[in-house]
Amino acid sequence: MQGYSLVFVAAILWSLIGVFSRGILDTGLGATEIAFWRALLAGGMFLVHGAFTGSLKLLHRRDGVALAGFALVGVTLFYTSLIFAIETGGISLAFLLLYSAPALVAILAWLLLGERLTRLKVVLVGLALIGITLIARNGGTGVTVTFTSVAWGLCSGLSYASYYIFGKWILDRYSPITVYAFVLPLGATGLLPLVDFSPKPTKAWLLLIALAIASTYLAYLLYFTGLKRVEASRAVLVATVEPVVAATLALAFFGERLGPMGLAGGGLILVAAVVSTWDRSSPRPHPSERRDP
């Protein structure tokens, strides 16, 4: 039971990404700068953690190239696109579209890894696509559904899907501490040329630190610790509470409310995400294979 509790707390911390990011955006910082500081600050914590535990060694030099590629997609692109999705469409929309990732994983695994596209996978992809279409046709209070906001949301889902594809290989070779100690600073470096740094009030710094500590470093550690005690597939089901909590917090703090069709579409996406864990032929999330939104 303790393992599920840890995974649940990690999901709650990830759901706070929307509130923290929205608060920082309101202080005037841009999405790329928020993503940069999140990756840099959390990466520094993992570097210190890795140094104390002796987890900073790579088995082969070529693994560094693979980690750099993953950093560009799983951190530089993922962190930025999620915040842009929050900025342009709202927290609820961003987090529901984020969970299109399992459907995207099925397609990518078929195209890139040669994995079989089963009937169940086709049905789940179809459900997710219907859900996305319903969301795109109906916004709501505080939720802006445009081509741009949906595109950024799907981009975050696509880059999040890289954790499943890439993680099948890299997280069998290295601990999560090692992976994030490398990819987070590398991802921040990839963002550096895109960042237009601006003066930051105390509120912005406090929220950036909270985003890095609570919703990145601590959330990862809790999730990985919990996964040592429970099955990965069941842990993913518990973590699916993330977009639900994120939407609830968006309503409470910012008055966001999806319309009826948007709620129905979000429900279909979450159903597809949950049922995808039942398909034994699907790419299974490794016990340490989880992003931080």
Q: Which helix (H) or strand (E) holds 141?
A: strand 140-141
* Predicted local distance difference test score (pLDDT) of residue 278: 61
**DSSP letters along 167-187, please?**
HHHHTTTS-HHHHHHHHHHHH
Phi-psi region of 152 (alpha: psi -120 to 50; beta: other; left: phi over 0): alpha
Residue 233 has pLDDT above 60, yes or no: no
Task: Specify the pTM.
Answer: 0.85
Nearest Cα neighbor of 76 from 48, 36, 41 is 36
**Across 9-21, average pLDDT:** 93
Q: Is the pLDDT of residue 74 over 70?
A: yes
Please check the confidence at residue 272 and state whether its pLDDT lies above 80. no
CA–CA gap between residue 215 and residue 180 (Å, rounded): 14
For 81-140, the pLDDT digits (tens) are 999 999 999 998 898 888 777 777 777 777 766 777 778 778 877 887 788 777 776 667
pLDDT at position 292: 46
3-state SS, residue 9: helix
Find the largest Cα–Cα distance for the chain.
53
Average of per-residue pLDDT across 170-193:
90
- CA-CA distances (angstroms) from residue 250 to 92, 157, 160? 7, 19, 21
